Amino acid sequence: MKLQAKQVALATVIALAGPGACAPAALAQGFKPTRPVEMVVHTGPGGGSDVLARAMAIMMEKENLLPVRMQVLNKPGGGGAVAAAYLAEKKGDENTIGLFTGVWLTGPLTSDKAKVTLKDLTPIARLVLEPALIAVKADAPYKTLADFIAAAKQNPGQLKQSGGSITSRDNVVRQLLQKNTGARWTYISFPGGGERIAALLGGHVNVMVIEPAEAGEHIRAGNMRVLAQVSDARLDGFPDVPTLKEAGFDVPVVPQVRGVVAPPEIPRQNVAYWEEVFRKLSQSAAWRKFLADNQFENGYQNAAEVTKFYGEFTDRMRGILQDAGIKTVR
Amino acid sequence: MKRFGTPDFWSGLALAGLGTSIVAEAAQWEYLGQDGPGPGFFPLWYGIAMAVLSLGLVVSSVLRQPGVEDPIDWAKARRAFAAWLALVAAVAALELLGFLLAFAALVFFLVAVMYRRPPGVAAAVALASAAAFHGLFVLVLGVRLPTGMLGF
Amino acid sequence: MQGFAVALQPVNLLWCLLGVILGTVVGILPGLAPSGTIAMLLPLTFAMNPAAAMIMLAGIYYGAKYGGSTTAILLNVPGESASVVTCLDGHQMARKGRAGPALGIAAIASFIAGTVGVLGLMLVAPPLARMALAFSSPEYFALMALGLAMVVLLAGRSMVKALLAMLVGLWISSIGTDPFSTTSRFIFGQLELLSGVDFVIAAIGLFAIGEVLACMEARGQGQLLPVPRGLRNLLPSVRDLKDCRFAFANGSVIGFLIGVLPGAGSTVASFISYGVEKAVSRRRDEFGQGVVEGVAAPEAANNSETGGALVPLLTLGIPGSATTAILLAALVLWGFKPGPLFISDNPALFWGLVASMYIGNAMLLVLNLPLVPLFAQVLRAPAHVLYPLVFGLSMVGVYSVSGSLFDLGLLAGFGLLGYLMRKLDYPAAPLILGLVLGGAMERALRQSLMMSEGSLSILATRPISAVMLSLALLILLIPLFNKANAWRLRALEQNDG
């Protein structure tokens, strides 16, 4: 099997290169988990990462990608800092991996209490990119994003957007658009997604950045209208909605990302193993269906690519946050 | 009976101290920002309220007729503190000993020392409760409990 | 009616039964939250018919509310965040030998309120959801202010101490990262405090551990709690039921309405309903010492709140709490699209669920009532067995939520605080009130001011918030009225004499 060959090749190289972490027995087989694998997420049960991790566990079982069970371990707190710190402590542990999101990358930029950055952990893969939509209430006077921006320019600071915390992607989109157009509108943080939608539907705010899966039903029911998509290419579910660029706003598309990391100092062959598992997952039919249902983009990158991605992403985010007047500490 | 040094006096003073330090911290943060009240807004106000009210408590405890309150029974309080220290020790030992051992030790201490039961009874209760917790939570419900150096 | 056809299928009945039993167990055990259990069971539900799965998961959700009162009454350990208020009078009743009636009333109140909640879901869900959209930050602020005003009714002997306890609660609620500015407040350099102090840890520490420490003072007595004797003391009497008539109504209505508001929470509902009951009860001075209405009202509120919380979930696809969030995730994973069209797209599922909730509530009543005398016997255990058990339950309960030893340290800290508060005669309920409502209130105020661009008048110009704020103000003035009355009476007496 291709998997075996790759493992053996890698193992041979490592053995020839010098003392490695592989026991002689492992040389023949490569790494395989023998105990249930724990996937650490930074939300509680029901949160975005938690749901994704559980869905992944179910898919892995269906597709027989792992010889053991995968369990979800919730380590909420500190915007990802607690989960990241937990993973950092598990140096060399072969049965723990983590599901990271963009917050793990931006959190350390603004908080000096978050001591562990993704550079300290072992990257495995990037899995999904989550695009978003810019939506208004259906009876709002804005038919296009340009309408909204024009209205915001005329009434600086009076229009309102609901979203998550100020370092979340919702605010990043706002900052980018404000900088690009010179318009200004207020941002109001709501901790829960439900409250943000309720604020929009109740007419208390004018606009929000919302995920396609959340918006879908409201659009179908005629409560919301989508002005633009925050994505590089038009999503299948929204063929009539212009992307930001098409709508005339040349701002970088900052995606919400999710991917897999492992604790520091795990053997190279383990990394290769995990890479392979997630590569297979990202190509499986079940995964494709999951992406389509939730309107995610397949953003698969392997370990080397995702390491480069971290650097680019953090640099760009740092710039954006500083422009927005948010203090960065790294 | 004393006017000064009553429980109300000390607790009021402590809370006044807390209130003042809250105000001091809050003063370092933004009070009113561009988008509305900043992180310092609420803490400042409830810190002030705390300081004012607790000073009021201190004053009223001094002005009140002495002898109105029951004095604190220090002997009893010592027992409670001892039990608390045992709990803290058990929590601190969890990483080393794991839940089963630490909890069994805690129970043994409570039964033998606090309730003055014979060591045999204490040991029995300790083992039985540790086993029951392990059985119910770890085996049946699959809850993860801390495991210590010895692996359980 | 089609719903009953779905719900009464033997398979679905079985899943309903399983769900409610599991829910009750989860509710009894502190720290085990229904959201975590539902999350754990998700993979298993894939093999099931979605209707059956939903029926079971919903059973866990509202079943947990039934169980939460058990440890609250018997051991002063709130099994679930909303059970905190039940501890106040429920445990006091247990201490007076009336654990049986307390548990029984809790079950009956839960049944009545749960059924009212389902009725509400069935009859008024869509229009109510639309009305709930009119609620936003100013109204939430007013609601939280109304909740905090309840401190006046929870005060006991010293209003100053109650207010101080509440202020400490407000302080603890602001520990953590400020969402609007990423400043971290009062974290004392501890990473784990970045997301604040979990309310469950504070509640279990203050109530359960604090209580055990206080009981450790007495030495060597075998049984400290009077054991209920005779059948009459094992179940609520007719008199008890009559006393609770208003409590059932008030709890059911308030709980349901607050449940409809996404994000408000069942703890707020229980506090407000308790406060209202105390305000209108003839025995208001006895509240906090073991009054049966003091158990009925909050228990009713937290049960009808589940029905209410399902309203925004099923009519708008908006989850209002952690448990409804995971139910939402479950629906999505099964391939449904929760949103405004969910009910019309999936009538069989919705009505089957509704019908199953009636059945589930009935099942829970039938299951719980006979267990009441059994549970009450727990209190027969000698102190040296019972109290270490409470320690253990508290530790496991807290650890199972986050797996953090730091949280256990916090638990011990709150335990000491609870004990000190008892000794120094500071009431614990206002602290919990401040802790629960403080963060939400601050957020709501700041959001409101952002909406109005800095003008406080938004709170007064919007009708709903204006009404609630005036109510809160009136409540806060009650003690002044009382004092004025007392002065007047004393002056009159002095004149006569």
- Radius of gyration of chain B measured on its C-alpha atoms: 24
The predicted structure's pLDDT at residue C222: 47
pLDDT digits (tens, 9 = 90+) for B55-90: 998 888 888 766 655 666 777 788 888 889 999 999
Distance from the C223 Cα atom to the nearest Cα atom in chain A, whole angstroms: 40
In this predicted structure, the answer to whether residue B141 has a pLDDT above a threshold of 70 is: no
Do residue C408 and residue B91 have CB atoms under 8 angstroms apart?
A: yes
C-alpha–C-alpha distance, residues C134 and C46, integer Å:
37
The predicted structure's pLDDT at residue A300: 87
The predicted structure's pLDDT at residue C229: 59
Share of chain B above pLDDT 90, in %: 18
Residues A280 and A295 in one domain: yes
Of C287, C300, C377, nearest to C94 by C-alpha is C377
Share of chain A above pLDDT 90, in %: 11
The answer, for C133 touching chain A at a CB cutoff of 8 Å, is yes
Confidence of residue A10 (pLDDT cuts 50, 70, 90): very low
Residues A124 and A156 in one domain: no
With H, G, I as helix, E, B as strand and everything else as coil, classify residue C46.
coil
For the residues of chain B, what is the DSSP string, one character each?
--STT-HHHHHHHHHHHHHHHHHHHHHTS-SEETTEE-TTHHHHHHHHHHHHHHHHHHHHHHHSPTT-SPPP-HHHHHHHHHHHHHHHHHHHHHHHHHHHHHHHHHHHHIIIIIS---HHHHHHHHHHHHHHHIIIIIIIS-----B-TT--
For the residues A137-161, what does the mean pLDDT come to?
90
Mean pLDDT of chain A: 82
The predicted structure's pLDDT at residue A73: 85
Contact C147, C169 (CB under 8 A): no
Q: Number of folded domains in chain A?
A: 2
Give the start-to-end residue ranges of the domains of chain C.
Answer: 2-496
Kind of pairing between the strands at A96-101 and A37-41: parallel
Phi first, then psi: give them for residue B147, nearest 5 degrees: -110, 140
The predicted structure's pLDDT at residue A20: 38
Distance from the A165 Cα atom to the nearest Cα atom in chain C, whole angstroms: 5
Q: Could you write out the three-class secondary structure of B100-139?
A: HHHHHHHHHHHHHHHCCCCHHHHHHHHHHHHHHHHHHHHH
The predicted structure's pLDDT at residue A208: 93
The answer, for A322 touching chain C at a CB cutoff of 8 Å, is no
Residues A112 and A159 in one domain: no
Q: Which residues in chain B have Cβ-Cβ distances shorter than 8 Å to C425?
A: 7
What's chain C's length in residues? 497
The predicted structure's pLDDT at residue C232: 57
pTM summary value: 0.83
Cβ neighbors of C167 (< 8 A, separation 6 or more) are B19, B46, B49, B50, B53, C434
* Selected residue of A58, A116, A189, A210 to mutate for chain C interface (largest C Cβ count, 10 A): A189
Count Cβ–Cβ pairs < 8 Å, chain A vs chain C.
173
Of C71, C83, C65, nearest to C390 by C-alpha is C71
Q: Which residues in chain C have Cβ-Cβ distances shorter than 8 Å to B19?
A: 167
In this predicted structure, the answer to whether residue A286 has a pLDDT above a threshold of 70 is: yes
In a domain, A330, yes or no: no
C-alpha–C-alpha distance, residues B80 and C212, integer Å:
9
In a domain, A181, yes or no: yes
- Chain B nearest-CA residue for C187: B25
The predicted structure's pLDDT at residue C416: 93
Could you tell me where the DSSP H helices lie in C76-158? Answer: 84-95, 99-132, 137-149
Residues A306 and A194 in one domain: no
pLDDT digits (tens, 9 = 90+) for A243-282: 888 888 888 888 888 999 999 988 888 888 998 899 999 8
Counting beta carbons within 10 angstroms of the beta carbon of residue A110, is it exposed (0 to 12), middle (13 to 18) or buried (19 or more)? buried
Do residue A51 and residue C333 have CB atoms under 8 angstroms apart?
A: yes
C-alpha–C-alpha distance, residues B99 and B92, integer Å:
11
Residues A153 and A168 in one domain: yes
In a domain, A250, yes or no: no
Distance from the C464 Cα atom to the nearest Cα atom in chain B, whole angstroms: 22
Contact C248, C109 (CB under 8 A): yes
Of C178, C181, C182, C155, nearest to C166 by C-alpha is C155
The predicted structure's pLDDT at residue B69: 59
The answer, for A192 touching chain C at a CB cutoff of 8 Å, is yes
ipTM, 2 decimals?
0.89
The predicted structure's pLDDT at residue B68: 57
C-alpha–C-alpha distance, residues C120 and C118, integer Å:
5
Count Cβ–Cβ pairs < 8 Å, chain B vs chain C.
159
Residues A300 and A194 in one domain: no
In this predicted structure, the answer to whether residue A116 has a pLDDT above a threshold of 70 is: yes
Distance from the A277 Cα atom to the nearest Cα atom in chain C, whole angstroms: 20
| Domain CATH code at residue A217 | 3.40.190.10
Q: In this complex, which chains have at least 3 CB pairs below 8 Å with chain A?
A: C
Residue matched to tokens 């208003």: C246
The answer, for C97 touching chain A at a CB cutoff of 8 Å, is no
With H, G, I as helix, E, B as strand and everything else as coil, classify residue A124.
strand
In a domain, A269, yes or no: yes
Of A330, A57, B129, A26, nearest to C39 by C-alpha is A57
In this predicted structure, the answer to whether residue A16 has a pLDDT above a threshold of 70 is: no
Residues A124 and A136 in one domain: no
Residues A182 and A267 in one domain: no
For the residues A183-205, what does the mean pLDDT come to?
87
Structure-block tokens of residue C24: 């009750």
CB within 8 Å of chain A, chain C residues 381-440 = 402-404
Q: Which residues in chain B have Cβ-Cβ distances shorter than 8 Å to C450?
A: 35-36
How far apart, in Å, do the first and last CA atoms of chain C sit? Answer: 72
In a domain, A215, yes or no: yes
C-alpha–C-alpha distance, residues B79 and C213, integer Å:
8
In this predicted structure, the answer to whether residue A11 has a pLDDT above a threshold of 60 is: no
Residues A116 and A259 in one domain: yes
pLDDT in tens, chain C (497 residues): 666 777 777 888 888 888 888 888 888 877 677 877 887 788 778 778 888 888 888 888 888 888 888 888 888 888 777 788 898 888 888 888 888 888 889 989 999 998 999 888 888 888 888 888 888 888 889 888 888 888 877 777 788 899 999 999 999 999 988 877 777 888 887 777 877 888 888 988 998 888 888 888 776 554 456 655 555 566 778 888 888 888 899 999 999 999 888 877 888 899 889 988 888 888 777 787 888 888 999 999 988 998 888 888 888 888 877 788 888 888 887 888 888 888 888 888 888 888 888 888 888 888 888 887 778 777 777 778 888 888 888 888 888 777 778 889 999 999 999 999 988 888 888 898 899 888 888 888 888 888 887 777 888 888 888 888 888 888 888 777 777 777 788 877 777 65
Structure-block tokens of residue C491: 């002056």
Full domain range(s) for residue A151: 132-230
